[in-house]
Amino acid sequence: MTEPVDDPTAERLAAALRCATVSTDDPREADSAAFDSLDAHLLASFPRVHAELELRKFAHSRLYRWPGAEPDGVSAILLAHQDVVPVDDAERWTHPPFAGVVDDEFIWGRGAIDDKSRVLAILEAVESALAAGLRPRHSVYLAFGHDEEVFGGEGAERMAEHLRAAGVRADLLLDEGGVITAGVVEGVRQPVATIMLGEKGYATVRVSVTEVGGHSSMPGRQTAVGRIARAVSRIQDHPMPLRLTPVIADMLSRIREVMPAPRRRLLGLAKLAAPVVTRVMATQPQTEAMVRTTTAPTVIRGGVRANVLPQRAEAMVNFRILPGDTVESVLAHCRKVVRDSGIRLELVGMSSEPSRITGPGPAFDLIADLARAVVPGIAVTTGIVPGATDSRHYDDLAGTRCNFAPIVLDERDLGSIHGTDERISRVNYARLIEFNRRLIEHFATVGPPSTSGADG
Ligand SMILES: [Zn+2]
């Protein structure tokens, strides 16, 4: 049973939450002062880390190198991000989102779960390891981005480039993504830890058309607005096919072990009747996202006045791409289903391919063991991050990638991430620190889970 964190530890996280390090689409609009005060807070709170680790900054991103006792090899790259998403309606929060309120049970504020608790928990663990005289056998990197919520182009991408150029190859890449959920997986009473092994790809397709325009009293067969509406509806009505990927099959077989008998029987069919399983999963948005490339028309615009024919109309459709599909195959699929040669289809903004999924190996077993030690009685499964995280920039730099934090969340907590009343319990924060502490202790005493690493 983990004891809740004490007041000084809770306060160190709360003080970080008071720095409103909100990510903006335009980096020039970011509040540099907020990142500077977070920087000052981290320097003051973790003196040993900043005296003994090498710190290199990329804009406001922080890349730490903790040199190992042995010159070769890298145990891990531990990722977390310092930035947060904006707050939609601060009035609806119990405590102001950037007040960093601490009460008997919770630490409140934007970033309490996503993702400052992970930044601070890693630093707490390294600080206490240094105080205890521990040193990793092989080097450990900490990489804390400052623009994860806007795709990491200035932070994670540059830090990863730096590591790549230095020839770094780690055994483990650990980042946010999966957590331990309670009462979320239907029919399973035990809390379930989902250690995610990769993430889906991302693409936005712009659908646009240009027409001559004119008076709306003589419109012809269809206007630009009508053509776009039809194209979008064709894309939405013809989603990419359902598919059971190996990682989701693995996830299901692990969940099956802890399910009550009737459900277990259904899942037992997974191998024989993947189409049945995927069809059942497709009935809920949360599970459908695991078995297909999702299609979400998010923006539509066109026209200026009710009595003027629009000259231009466009829409944006956002796709989250399942391993096996690609950015290119999504675009080709759109072309095929729209069936209107006058419609222009093109990729806009950030796009990324689905990550390479490494099977659960020794590094996965290590993370699973640590999760079980910190939260006894859990079931452990695998999965894939439906969104995009900074770790995609580091995909090629580690043998095994895990997206996971050992905090126990219910539906309400999950809704607070990017939503209202984000907070972390003192117990969950203690679990996070303890998990990182044990991970670092493992690196210090028995070395990495395998010895393939190389430090440049
Ligand atoms: Zn995050």
> According to the model, what pLDDT value does residue 241 have?
95
Q: Output the CA 203–ligand 1 centroid distance in Å.
A: 19
Active site residues: 83, 148
Measured in residues, the chain has a length of 456
CA distances from 136 to 62, 421, 442, 448 (A): 20, 38, 8, 9
**71 φ/ψ angles, rounded to the nearest 5 degrees:** -65, -35
Q: Output the CA 386–ligand 1 centroid distance in Å.
A: 12
Identity of the amino acid at 209: V
> According to the model, what pLDDT value does residue 271 have?
60
> According to the model, what pLDDT value does residue 276 have?
82
Q: Output the CA 193–ligand 1 centroid distance in Å.
A: 18
CA distances from 424 to 95, 101, 112, 451 (A): 13, 11, 6, 36
> According to the model, what pLDDT value does residue 30 have?
79
> According to the model, what pLDDT value does residue 449 have?
55
Q: Output the CA 179–ligand 1 centroid distance in Å.
A: 12
- The tens place of each residue's pLDDT in the chain, 456 residues long, gives 789 999 999 999 999 999 999 998 777 777 899 999 999 999 999 999 999 999 999 999 999 999 999 988 999 999 999 999 999 889 999 999 999 999 999 999 999 999 999 999 999 999 999 999 999 999 999 999 999 999 999 999 999 999 999 999 999 999 999 999 988 777 788 999 999 999 999 999 999 999 887 777 878 778 999 999 999 999 999 999 999 999 999 998 898 888 877 767 666 665 667 888 888 889 988 889 999 999 999 999 999 999 999 999 999 999 999 999 999 999 999 999 999 999 999 999 999 999 988 778 899 999 999 999 999 999 999 999 998 899 999 999 999 999 999 999 998 899 899 999 999 999 999 999 999 999 999 999 755 555 455 565
Q: Output the CA 222–ligand 1 centroid distance in Å.
A: 43
Identity of the amino acid at 443: F
> According to the model, what pLDDT value does residue 346 have?
97
CA angle 81, 85, 91 (to 5 degrees): 140
CA distance 295 to 317: 7
Q: Output the CA 351–ligand 1 centroid distance in Å.
A: 18
